[in-house]
Structure formats: C-alpha cells, structure tokens
Amino acid sequence: MAVFDHFENMYDVAFKPRLLLSLIRDHLPDDSTPFSNPSNLSNLLSLIKTHSLLSESFAQSTPHKHAQAWKSAFASWLDRIYSLISTTVPDKCWAGISLLGVTCEECSSERFLESYSLWFQKLLPFLQSPADCHLVRVAACASMSDLFVRNKITVNMHLVLIFKYFLHLFCGLFSATYWCYHSKSNLAATCTNSLLQNRLSGYPKIKKDSSSCAVKVVQPTLKMLNDENSEAVWDAAVHLLCTIITSFPFSIRNHYESSHSDECFEFMQVESAIALKLLSGGCSLDMLKKLAHCLALLPKSKGDEESWSVMMQKILMLINDQLNLAFHGLEEETMRNMVTRLLFWPGKHPPSPLGGYVLADEVRNKASNTSEQSLMSNVSTLMFGCRMMLTNSYPVKVNVPVRLLLALVERILMVNGSLPQMSLPFMTAKQQENICSELPVLHLSSLELLTAIIKAMGSQLLPHAAYIVRIVTKYFKTCELPDIRIKVYSVAKNLLLTMGVGMALYLAQEVINNAFADLSNIEHKNGGMLNGSNLNASAGAPLPPGHRKRKHISTNGSLQAHDEGGGLGVEVPKNCPLTPISLRIAALETLEALVTVAGALKSEPWRSKVDSLLIVVAMDSFKEGPVSEETSMFQQKEPAATATDLQLAALRALLVSFLSFARVRPPYLAQGLELFRRGKQQTGTKLAEFCLHALLTLEVLIHPRALPLVDYAYANNHSFGEANSNLQHEYFGRNDHTPYGFPQAPPDYDDDLCARWFENGNEADVSLAKNTKHTPEPSEDCIANDPEVLDSNLLERAEMVSETATCADVEMKTVEDEINLKSDQPGESVVQFQESVSCTTNIPEAKTHSDVADDNNEKIVSESTLPHNEASHMESGQGSSVNKDFGLAFQSNSFGQRTSGSSILEEFALKFGQDNSLDDGDSFPDIVDGDPDSNSD
Amino acid sequence: MQQRREKEMVRGEAEAVVACSDKSMKIGATMWDLETGEKLLHIPTCASPPFGFLCLRNRFLVASQINKHGSIGDGAILVWPFNKPQQPLLNYTVEAVGPLCCTNDGIYLVGGALSGIAYLWNVTNGKLLKTWRAHNKSLNCMAFSDDDSFLISSSVDGTICVWSMISLLDIEETTSSPPSLHCLSGHTSSITGLLTIPNSILVSSSLDGTCKVWDFIYGRLVQTQVYLFAITSITLHQRERLLFCGMENGTIIVNKLDIGLKEGPSMGTVAQPLELKGQNGAISALTCSRACLISASEDCTIYIWDIFNWEVIHRFNLQKGKVTNLVIVSRSALVSASKYETVSNKYYVSPLDKYPQLINSFKGTTTLLSLCPLHKGNQTCIDLRSSDLSRQKISSSQKADVPMSMTIQMKVETSIKNHVLATNMAEHVTVINKQLQSQLLNFIQHRLLCPNIINTHKTRRKKLKIQSLVREEKNLKP
C-alpha cells in the first residue's frame, strides 16, 4: 500500500478497508503473538461498529478498485478469525469466537447468506465438545445466538424481497405480454422469470437450512445445561435456547414430528432440564428469572393454544404443590380447597407435572426436607414465569385461567404469618420466623402477577373486577411494608386507568385513605405552628370561592392552614419525612390516576380534600428542593427515587387536579401557578420541561377564551340577534359561578333585551336556590352506598328529587314569565313557554288541555307536572310513595304562587291525569288512591 | 381557498355511511362513500330495528334482526366482516333483540330485548356473560359511557337506567335483577336517543318533545330543552358541541350544547335555533361524521349536509324502506380489510352463545377468558395465516347454515305478510257483516215496533200506486 495514497475524508470508502487491515495487523492476536490485552479488543470492536467496517456497503458509483480492496480486507479478517478459532489456547479461541459473533451481526446480508453455514460448522464443535473451558463455551453460545438472530432477520428480509419480486413479476408479466404482442420479444418475460426463480429456489433452502441448524444445536445445549455446573454456561445456554425458540419456533417442532416417541422424549427433555434447574436451587435470582422466562417461551415452539394452557396449568400446579407445603398450618382449609378445585377440573385429566413424574417425585421428596426459603423462592420464580406467559406475545388466541390466577394471588395475600389457634402446637417459633422472613417477597411477586393480569387482560377483566377490588381493599388495610405498599398502589393505579370511573367509585375511598396516611405525615408536624402566621399572608389572594371553601373545610384541621402559609415563603423548619420518597411518589401517582379518571366525580366530598392535599405536597416538595443532604441520603438507600422525582410527581398530580375541574375554577390555581413558574426556572431539568408544558396547558384555564366557532355558520347565515343570544348564553352560563369576576357589565349590546336576559337568569337562579332548599340532597347517599345496598327506599328518594327538579324547571319558567310580563315586552321566553305547552299536542288528549291553558298559567304548570308524577308511580309501583310524591309536587307547585282555587285546578288536573293514564292502565288505581290525600294538601 | 385546501389535507381518511331499514330483509344494508356519493357495498339480507346496527372496531358490521310481526321465535344477530361481507356470522338469541351497543374497544356487546331483558356478550370468545331484566317495558336504546364503565339503557316508557359494568358483571353476584346505579325518570314518553359525553354527561331525547342533559353518575338532571315537536332522533358533533335534533315533522334543529358551569338544573331556552328542512317524513336516524351531518327520514331518503354551510351535498334513496340506522365507518378499513396481509388479525369475533354457561358460578370451574395479544406486533406470516385459517373454519361451518336460514326467514316473512293480509281481509269482512247485521236488526226492530205506520205507509203507497195506475190507464185511453 502506498504511503501517500490519501483518501478523501472519513466517509470515503477507500478509508474503510485500510482501517480494517491496520486493525487486523495491530490489534488482533496472531498465532505467534500472545493475546496481550482484552481491552484492545473492546477498542477494536467500537471502531468496527462506528465505522461499520464489516458492512461492505457502498454506492454503485464506487470504483471497482475500492470494492475489491474491501473484499480482500474482509477475507483476511475472516482468515484471521478462523485461525484464532482453531488454536488450542483458550483465550485466543474465545476472542475468535466472539469476533465471529460480531461478524455475524455486522456483515452484509449477501455475505451472511453465503457463509453462515460455514460459520455454523465452525461454532458447533464448541457446543458439542465438553472438554473446552467455560469461557469458550459461553462465547460459542453467545455467537451462536447472534448467528440465529441474524439468520432470522435475513430470512425475513428475504421474504420481503420475494414479495417484492412477486409484484415485479406481475408487472413484468403484463409488460411482457404487451411486448410479446407488439414486438415478439420474449426477453422481458424470461428476465423476470429467471430472477424470481432464483429467489424462490433460494428461500426454502435458507429456511430449511437454518431450521436444521437450530435442531442440531438443541441437543448439545441441553447437555450443557444438564452437565455443566457453572452458572455462566447455564446462562449462555438458556439464552441460546430462548433465541432458538423465538427465532425458529417451528424448527424444533418439525424435528419432533419425524418420530413421535422422540418428540415426547425431547420435549420433556427441554422442559425437565429447565424445571430441574429451577427447582434444584443453587442458582442466583437472576438465573432463576432467566430460566422461568425460557420456560414461559417454551409453548411458542408449538405455537398452539393447547400447549400454552397446559404449560400454564403445569406451572400453577407446581406452585400449588409448593404452597401446600409451605403454608401448611398457616392458612384456612377453605382457601386451599378452592384453589385446588379451580385447578383440577372435574372430568378432565390433569397434565403430567412439570418436568415429568420422576422429577416431580424427586422434588417433592427434596422439598419436604428443604427449608421454607427455597420453597418460597421457587414459588416466586414460578410466578414470574406466569407473568412472562401473560405479557409475552403469543401467536394465537389463548384462554387465560383468570379466576384461578386471582384465587392464587388471594391465597398468598391472605397469609400474613399469623398462626391460627389450632396449629400452634405443631409449629416452632423458628419455623414461623423462617416463613415470615420470606413472606414479603412472595407477596411482592403475587402483587406483580396481579398487575400483569390487569395489564394483559385489559377490559376483559371486567367480570373479575369486583373480585379484585375486594382483594385489594382488604389487603390495602393491612399491608405495612413500604415496598409492598408501593406495589399495591401500582395495582390500584392500573385498575383505575383500565376500568375508568366505574372503578373509581369502588376504589376511591380506599386509595384516598391510604394516600392521606402516606402523604400527610408532614402536615401533622408543621400545621400547628403555622396556624398563626398564615392568615394575613393569604388575605391578598383574590380567591373568593376558595375562601368559602376553606372556611367550609377548616374543621378538617391544619391542612388548609398549612398550605396557605406555604406558598408565600413562610420559613418552615425542615421536615423529616417518615415515609420513603418512593412510597410517596407511588401514592401521588395513584392519586393522579384517580383524579384523571374520576373527573366526573366532581361533587364527591373527598375531592376538595384531595386538591388541598396535592397543593400542600407540591409546596412541601419545593421547600426541600435544593437541599442536597437529604437527597444524597436517599440516593444511597434508593437510587431510583430522589426528591426531584417526588417534586415531579407532585406537580404532575397537581396539574391533573387543576385540569379535571369541570365546572368550577380550581381553588388553588394561584399557588399552583407560582409553583410551576418556579419550577420552570430550574432550566435543563426534567422538572423545568414539565413545568413549561404545564403552564402551556394551564394557559387556557387562566385566560378562558371564547373561541368564535368560525365554521359554525350561525353568524353568517342568520340574523345578528341570534348570534347575540348565543353569546349571551355563554355569559349567562358563567356569570354567577366563575370566581374570577367575569365581566359584570354585559358586553356592549345596546339593547335592553340583553340586560333583561341577565336579570332573568339571576332571578331564575334565586328561585332555583329556594327550591332546592327544601329538597333532600340524595346524590351523596346514593353514591356513598354500594349500589347493591340501594334499596327501594333510596330509589324512591332519588325519584322524588328528580321529580321536584322538573317541578323547579317549570316554576322557574313561570317566574321568568312574570318578569317578562312586568316589563311589558313579551320576550322570547314567553313564546317559548307557550311552545312548551303546545308541544304536548302530540299526545292525543292534550287538546283539551290547551283550552284550559288559555285562562291561567298556573294551571298549565300543575297539569304539565302531572305526567311526571305518573311516570314515577309506574316506576316505583308502591302505594306509599304516591302520597309523598303528590304532596311534594303540589307543595312546590303552590310555592310562591297564588293559591286561590288551586285545589279545584288540581282536581281538574287529576282528572286529566286519569285520562292520560288510560293508555297505560297500570297507574290508574294508584292515582285514585292518591286523590284524597292531595286534596287535603 | 388555501385554507380550505389545507383543511382537506388534514381531513384524514375518507368515511362511508351504512344505512339499513327494518321493513324487510330484502332491502338490506347499503354503504355509500360520503365524499363522492358512490355506492360501495350492498349487503342483501338485513333488517334491523332502530339502534340495532353498529360497527365493531371498524372491522365488522353487527346487526340485530327482528321478526317484525310479533312472532315469539328466536331473534338473530348477524356479524359481517368487512373483508367477506358475503359470509356473515349468524348468531341466534333466545328472543328477538332490538337495540345493540358495544364498548369502544369492541369487546362487550349488549343487546336489549322487547321483553325488557338485556343480554351481555364478550365478543372475542362469544360468551353470554349476563342476562338481566333491565326494564319492565321493552328496551329501545342503549349506550356505554365514554370510558365503558357504565351502561345506560332506556325503555319505551321513558325511563333511563344507569348500570355500573363492574357490579353488573360481578361473578359472585348471580341474581337475575342486579340493582341499577340510578333510574332517571323525567321523560314522559318513549326515549329516542341517548348520547354520552365525557365527564359523565348524558343527553337523552324523547317523543315528549324534550331533550334532557343529565349527570348520570349522580343521577341529576342538568338541563332540559323543550321543543315544539316530538324528537325522533338526536346526534352530537363532538368537536363543535352541536346538538342536532331530528323532529317528527322532518326538520332538524341545530343547537349549541352548552352544559356550562352551572350546577343545578336549568332550562335551556333556545331562541330560534337553526332549522334544516328538506325531508318530508319524521327524521328516523341521524349521525355525524367529521364534516357532515347525515340524516335519514321515514320517506326513505338520506341527506348528507355540509356542517359548515348547511347545504345538502348528496341525497340517497334506500329502496322503499324507512331508514332505521345510519353508521359511519372509515373507508380505509374497508380497503385494507380486503387484503388480509396488511391487517393483523388480532381482533376476533367468535360466535355468540345463545345461553349462558350454567357452570359460571363462583364454585364451578375456571372462567376462561381469551387473551388477545393486543399490544404486540411482530406476528409472523405463518401465524397470521394459521389464525386466519381458524377463522375461515368458523365461517365455513357457519356458511352452510346462513343462506338456508336466510331464505327460510325470508319465506317466513312473506308468508307472515300474506297471513296478515288475509286476517285484515277477514276482519274487514266481519266488520261489514256486523254492520249489515245491525242494519238488519234495526230494520226488523223498526218493523216490529211500528208495524201500523208501515202498514199505513203501505196502504198509502198501494193507494198511490193504484191511483197512478188508474191515471195511466186514463192517459192511455184517450
């Protein structure tokens, strides 16, 4: 190579073969030179990957010279690797094998297809021969799995290519026939045909080859798993097995199909090899997880529904066996019996135990001697396997034994280590100690399994949702360890997010109780001392409704008092949180999910409490913000969660609580905005990023914009007055409820119609308020009670209220009506009202109504409410409720109206009511019963 | 113009509308492209009652079939995959099912029967999960809340019930009449439409001429809108918050739905809202796509209105059938579903069970649920093919069944028609007979009661006759 043969730049193709050659020369060990330094090798690898030295990819225009140079460089690279592999020195051999793996990953696909069988032959002996040292075998396994992964990719690519060529062929055929027709040339057709044939003939060959390769590897790998005793080798072997199962699942099955007995034997072999490793103990936790993962993947090699179910059942049976041993004397018989009943269906033969009968017996014998610890760790590993089976993809639809899984979870969660009176004499304190030491891990893994079930099943879990709620609420009350609580929170969060408001109705109370317990320990300390100083500080805050709210809740204690002080930089002594940060984060996240989902539950009593709690927590998180000692202390303990994470979680929850207010302006918006602005200044952090986003989102809330409905063609097509009334409608809706004094003076529409509109609105509201005073407030009761407890009594009440509500409607109208009459301008609402009467004309008997309607408005009111009454009677069908209803209806009817002659009218109306009811027939007798009572009213 | 073009660019995938009638199986369902007005698909045998037609996950059309003439026999629910509309999946139900409704994820399907009993299936495995009495009168409309956690049903007597899905499906709750969360009463006549909006808002319309807005979690009435005529159909344009009310007289009233910040019940008085006129019969179905409103009326016409300038873009005619259902589907589903390579068949529809499984109780066996790997890609072609094969198997097993039953049903229908005609005739004849008889009786009575008057009349007539005869004779003589 010429010394001054310069190339253009670092992207030049000429540069790559040069670099590759010099790398081979300088960094790769030779036959003669000893293997100097492994760090050299990593340097070499990084260079190869950054410059993609093995890819042999270049543009079409590249001079032939460079391409040739690269090719030869690659050839010498391969030569060197081959020579390394064939040496007997282990570390050189290891280097060669590893580099071959890298080559598999990096080389071009043409090159790979060309030479993969050769490479496979080079690697295979290392898997088969037991003599080599562990290092080499591990490397061989890794390289082999690299080879298979690449093979899979290439085969898939090939498939795509073939598809493309198919399309080409069709186009080609068309053009070919066209050409044949015109110029009698067969050239095009033959061209495309031959191309396709090449490809097509190539494809099955590759696929078959790679499958047969995979088959050859399975046996040696199993052997390694059985014979070797180094964990590194097991690890590599399991990895290789997983790769084979995921990449070429059917290669294994095809092989088995050749001879039936062989199949059973080998399938059991794979299964039992893994099961043996799993159950025999002596593996690290990581290794156990890998084994479980491989076990979970195993059904994929068959890919049908049956094998998945069988594998699931086998694992569950094994878990059940182990639990029976471990929990002996610790749990009630009913739970155990239930799980067993669910596990073994009557009339169906249970599958053979995991790993075959021999192994099962062996394990059972061993298990009776082994300690509880190993039993427990086995169970949690197997549960991990269940989780993997649920969350991994599977090609076909499968049936999940949800009920059984949930029963298993419940069974484990119910055991807390306490001994029933009965089994006290049979268990030593030492035994109890052993079990209790392992129980938290078991609980954790069963909660994780529960989370996996929720995530995997999604809304299909609905039939079991009530059952899960029962489990979770029961467990939430008892669990105490922070780690477990975090998991329970995440279960609750997932439940809320998947099931929506319906779930919130059930879980809200439990979540809130726990979150308050976990989050508000600060407030107990600081609240008292802050009470005095904060009141005048908060006086400046322009939040009239907020004040009202606070006064209302102030009986709750120091929570609000504290928060008012917080935002204004009152010096607060450092608090020392008792609950770990990660637990607080989990609680905050769950609250966030709750508020997100349950935005509709706006009038729940807990809602205002949660809002105030969130702002308090957010403020506190800022106070401890820059302090480094605390965070570092926590970092040592739990590097996952720092104070910044807590801050972020608090602000996230706060934002959601602001946004989910549907009707009212959030009371703590001002304080919250200040926090977000402060957070924004910590530039470069995740917090600042989030705060920017939050401020952008809140902008709409701060400056509510009545966007003109541009496309909405009212303004264009119709009179200006209509558009006006629309706008008024909007203001009308807002003016009395927005805390931030919305424009009191109406916008400059200079007709008095508008003013009257506003007036009417207020009037109507006042009358409304009056009305609602003497109606009971049912909604809270209804919600607070479980729907199941909703007896007929409650239903009745709900009906009554809804009915009085409709009465209120009508009455409101009359008030409006009167006002309009006073102002001597028959406005629109009058017209509307009359319309509402005439709208009943579609009911046949309403004609006679309208005759009466001309005389007096009150009549219409009483009449038009009557059908409501009837409807409710038909609903409740109880004689007792009739009287009440009537009483109420008439009370509200006569409320604030002239009472003269009303009883006559009522009677009159009743008659009409009877006429009405003739159609339905059912309610007729009811009304007759109710008649005297209503008269007495 | 520029803006318009941009808008068109962001409009997204094209949509199509499917319409069907309940008059006769022969009319079937027809699909039109919304933009071009081109007829895309015709499904020959379909007759479903109002709200009995829906689109599952943009993959399947589902329709309940009803025997109109009050026969008590089985009802049926048909499922057409978009890629093979010629091979529907036929599911028989215990009784005729009217309104249907499905969750957003397309996993649960609810059907309401005329008897007031509701049926709930899991579509993916076909299990009938729950059967319960929802109303005393016949069910006529159903809807799921926006997060699928509540089911809302309504009846012809004007009652609306809210059900929590969790307590409804609770396995340990086995009663046939679970308590509802709320019963909303206020409408005095049959409900004609239910719409749910996020934050637990429900809009209901009724033949009594009112539209009510409810907070269905608390069971509160929020707003009442009163109209001149009975409302026969409603729909909502979600983005613009426009409420369209189809009236009995064929007009559509466009309102802005302003739930506002108010807490208590309020009366929405609408000052001369925009009215769309054009159709003659009562509006029987309304639906809204991104940019147009589609209205169908009893005069068998379907109008497509531009939402921005309220012009009619297209007019379609469903041959001689009152349109009962309009459903919007996206065209891309139709196109991509036709070549199954590109669509991952992750979503299954299994034949729906007719009866619930008896051993579904707490103590029995495991309840198996199907797990579709919904959130995973990476399925190989072979797997896809195999899953498709299994589905083909199902459909082919059903296939033999379908045409037979369909033809039988059509025959039955025609024979029923004949029967009705005959009975009508007979009734008519009996009425005539009765009238004749009564006349005869009257006549006889008359005769018996006052025979002398008749006699005198007779004699008088005789006399007259004689006189006249005499006169004639006299006239002839000269």
Q: How does pLDDT run across B174-208, given as a tens digit for each residue?
A: 666 778 888 998 899 999 999 998 878 899 999 99
Residue A601 is part of which domain span?
503-522+579-624+642-700
Residue A834's closest chain B neighbor by CA?
B228
pLDDT at A401: 87
Give contacts of B210 with chain A, Cβ < 8 Å: 839
Looking at the complex, does the CB of residue A774 fall below 8 Å from at least one CB of chain B? no
At residue A653, does pLDDT exceed 90? yes
Residue ending a domain, choose from A478, A513, A547 = A478
Give dist(CA A933, CA A66) in Å, integer: 108
Mean pLDDT on A293-299 = 88
Asked whether residue A18 is assigned to any structural domain, the reply reads: no
Nearest CA in chain A to B380: A395
Question: Are the beta carbons of B166 and A725 separated by less than 8 Å?
Answer: no
Of A396, A600, A803, the CB nearest to B217: A600
Per-residue pLDDT reduced to its tens digit, B260-309: 545 444 555 555 678 888 888 888 899 988 778 899 988 888 899 888 77
Please say if the pLDDT value at position A715 is more than 70: no
- The answer for residues whose C-beta is within 8 angstroms of residue B416's C-beta and 6 or more apart is B67, B69, B71
Whether A788 and B179 lie within 8 Å, measured CB to CB: yes
Quickly state the pLDDT bin for A740 (edges 50, 70, 90).
Answer: very low
> Could you tell me the pLDDT band of residue A449, with boundaries at 50, 70 and 90?
very high
pLDDT of A485: 93
Reported confidence tier of residue B14, pLDDT bands at 50, 70, 90: confident
Q: What is the band of A410 on the pLDDT scale with cuts at 50, 70, 90?
A: very high
How confident is the model at residue A426, as a pLDDT?
74
Q: Which of A700, A720, A742 is the last residue of a domain?
A: A700
State the best of A400, A503, A832 to mutate against chain B, taking most chain B CBs within 10 Å: A832
**Count of positions (residues) in chain A:** 937
Q: Looking at residue B206, what is its pLDDT?
A: 92
**Is residue A492's pLDDT more than 80?**
yes
What is the per-residue pLDDT for B385?
27
Same domain, A433 and A514: no
Q: Which of A484-493, A863-872, B341-350 has the lowest mean pLDDT?
A: A863-872
Instruction: Give the nearest partner residue to B170 out of A466, A602, A725, using CB atoms.
Output: A466
Ranking A79-83, A100-104, A113-117, A506-510 by mean pLDDT, the lowest is A113-117
Tell me, what's the pLDDT at A450? 95
* Position A392 in a domain: yes
Q: Please name the residue of chain A whose CA is at the shortest distance from the CA of residue B178.
A: A788
Note whether A472 and A323 are same-domain residues: yes
- A514 and A411 in a common domain: no
Q: Per-residue confidence at A448, pLDDT binned at 50, 70, 90?
A: very high
Q: Which residue has the higher pLDDT, A364 or A711?
A: A364
Percent of chain A whose predicted confidence (pLDDT) is above 70: 56
Considering only CB atoms, which chain B residues are within 8 Å of A396?
383, 386-387, 390
> Which amino acid does the sequence have at A37?
N
pLDDT band, residue A912 (cuts 50/70/90): very low
Say if residue A384's pLDDT is above 90. yes
Whole-angstrom CA distances from A141 to A127, A405, A687, B2 are 7, 35, 44, 62
Residue A328's pLDDT band (cuts 50, 70, 90): confident
Smallest CA–CA distance, residue B384 to chain A, in Å, is 8
* pLDDT bracket for residue A178 (50, 70, 90): low
pLDDT at position B142: 93
pLDDT at B406: 56
Residues A432 and A513 grouped into a single domain = no
Q: What is the pLDDT at residue A706?
A: 63
- Please tell me the least confidently modeled range out of A66-75, A370-379, A544-553: A544-553
Same domain, A454 and A516: no
pLDDT for position A386: 92
- Partner residue opposite B264 with nearest CB, options A597, A602, A772: A772
pLDDT of residue A703: 79
In A569-625, the DSSP E strands lie at none
Asked whether residue A656 is assigned to any structural domain, the reply reads: yes
**Residue B150: beta bridge partners?**
B164
B-facing residues of A in 578-637 (CB < 8 A) are 597, 599-603
Interface of A with B in 152-171 (CB under 8 A): 159
Contact B180 A787 (CB under 8 A): yes
Look at A128-132, A444-448, A552-556, B400-404 and tell me which has the smallest mean pLDDT. A552-556
Q: Which residue of A has its CA nearest to B274?
A: A714
Verify whether the Cβ–Cβ distance B386 to A395 is below 8 Å.
Answer: yes
Asked if the structure places residue A174 within a domain, the reply is: no
> Are residues A345 and B365, on separate chains, in Cβ contact within 8 Å?
yes
Q: CB of A705 within 8 A of CB of A650?
A: no
The residue whose two tokens read 């006189």 is: B467
CB contact under 8 A, B107 and A456: no
Query: Band of the pLDDT at A57, cuts 50, 70, 90?
Result: confident
In whole numbers, what is the pLDDT of chain A averaged over residues?
A: 68
Who among A464, A734, A787 is closest to B167 (CB)? A787
Instruction: Tell whether the model's pLDDT for residue A571 goes beyond 60.
Output: no
State whether A462 and B372 contact (CB < 8 Å): no
Q: Which of A169-178, A459-468, A895-904, B24-33 tops mean pLDDT?
A: A459-468
pLDDT in the model for residue B151: 94
Q: What pLDDT was estimated at residue A392?
A: 85
Domain count for chain A: 2
Whether residues A474 and A515 share a domain: the answer is no
Whether A37 is covered by a domain: the verdict is: no
Residue A412, pLDDT score: 92
* Residue that wins the pLDDT comparison between A175 and A493: A493
Contact A854, A863 (CB under 8 A): no
Partner residue opposite A503 with nearest CB, options B166, B369, B377? B166
What are the DSSP calls for A724-783, one per residue?
Answer: HHHHHHHHHHHTTT-SS---SSPPS--SHHHHHHHHHHHHHHHHHHHHHHTS---HHHHH
**Range in A42-56, A670-684, B450-464 with the lowest mean pLDDT:** B450-464
- Taking residues B221-226, what's their average pLDDT? 86
Residue B459 confidence (pLDDT) = 57
Q: How much is the pLDDT for A893?
A: 42
Q: What is the mean pLDDT of residues A447-472?
A: 91
Q: Residue A358 domain-assigned?
A: yes
Give residue A346's pLDDT: 66
Interface contact A396-B382, CB threshold 8 A? no
Are residue A518 and residue A447 in the same domain, yes or no?
Answer: no
Average pLDDT over residues A400-425: 85
Taking an 8 Å cut-off on Cβ atoms, the answer to whether A722 and B365 are in contact is no
pLDDT at A491: 95
Each residue of A592-625: pLDDT tens digit? Answer: 999 988 876 767 778 888 888 999 889 888 876 5
Give yes or no: residues A606 and A472 share one domain.
no
The pLDDT assigned to A881 comes to: 40
> What per-residue confidence (pLDDT) applies to B111?
92
- Domain-embedded: residue A312: yes
**CB within 8 Å of chain B, chain A residues 800-819:** 802-803, 805-806, 808-809, 812-813
Residue A190: band (very low, low, confident or very high) from pLDDT cuts 50, 70, 90: low
> Shortest CB distance from A502 goes to which of B157, B166, B365?
B166
Mutate: best of B104, B132, B155, B164, partner A, most A CBs <10 A: B164
SS3 state at B140 = strand
CA B457 to chain A, closest CA, distance in angstroms equals: 47
Nearest to B262 among A712, A737, A839 (CB): A737
Name the residue with tokens 């105490």. A480
Instruction: Report chain B residues whose CB lies below 8 A from the CB of A399.
Output: 125, 368-371
Q: Same structural domain for residues A337 and A381?
A: yes
Chain B's closest residue to A598, CA to CA, is B199
A495 close contact with B: CB closer than 8 A: no
Residues B142, B191: Cα–Cα separation, whole Å: 10
8 Å CB contact of B258 and A730: yes
Contact B240 A711 (CB under 8 A): yes
How large is the average pLDDT for residues A281-301?
85
User: Which residues of B are less than 8 Å from A828 in CB distance?
Assistant: 269, 271-272
Residue A432, helix vs strand vs coil: helix
Is the pLDDT assigned to residue B438 strictly greater than 70?
Answer: yes
Res. B453: pLDDT tops 70: no
Query: Picking from A84-98, A133-147, A217-231, A827-841, which range would have the lowest pLDDT averaged per residue?
Result: A827-841
Among A residues 72-101, those touching chain B with beta carbons less than 8 Å apart? none
CB proximity A729 to B under 8 Å: yes
* Of residues A488, A486, A494, the one with CA closest to residue A579: A486
Q: Residue with structure tokens 């999946």?
A: B89
Instruction: Please report the pLDDT score of residue A387 as a whole number.
Output: 92
Q: Which residue has the tokens 């996993």?
A: B107
* Overall average pLDDT of the A653-676 stretch: 85
pLDDT over 70 at A585, yes or no: yes
* Banded model confidence at residue A446, pLDDT cuts 50, 70, 90: very high
Residue in A502, A733, A872 nearest the CB of B185:
A872
CB contact under 8 A, A779 and B220: yes
pLDDT at A340 over 80: yes
Which ipTM value was assigned to this complex?
0.74
Least confident of A338-352, B127-141, B190-204: A338-352
Any CB–CB contact under 8 A between A467 and chain B? yes
Residues B228, A838: C-beta atoms closer than 8 Å: yes
Least confident of A532-541, A635-644, A862-871, B117-126: A532-541
CA–CA distance, B13 with B284 (Å, rounded to integer) = 27
Residue A199 pLDDT: 54
Q: Give yes or no for residue A120 having a pLDDT over 70.
A: yes
Same domain flag for A597 and A466 = no
Look at residue A910 and tell me whether its pLDDT is greater than 70: no
* Whether A463 contacts chain B with CB within 8 A: yes
pLDDT at res. A12 = 82
Contact A303 B383 (CB under 8 A): yes
**Structural domain includes residue A64:** no
In this structure, the answer to whether residues A402 and A472 fall within a common structural domain is yes
Of A204, A289, A156, whose CA–CA distance to B377 is shortest? A156
Q: Which positions in chain B touch A394 (Cβ < 8 Å)?
A: 371, 373
User: Which of A667-676, A854-863, B77-86, B147-156 has the lowest average pLDDT?
Assistant: A854-863
**CA A421 to chain CA mean position, Å:** 42
Distances (CA, A) of A799 to A3, A872, A884, A885, B211: 98, 7, 11, 9, 18
In terms of domains, do A514 and A659 share one? yes
> How close are the terminal C-alpha atoms of chain A, in Å?
116
Gap from A38 CA to chain B (nearest CA, Å):
37
Write phi, then psi, for B32 (nearest 5 degrees). Answer: -120, 150
The distance from CA A89 to its chain's CA centroid, rounded to whole angstroms, is 53
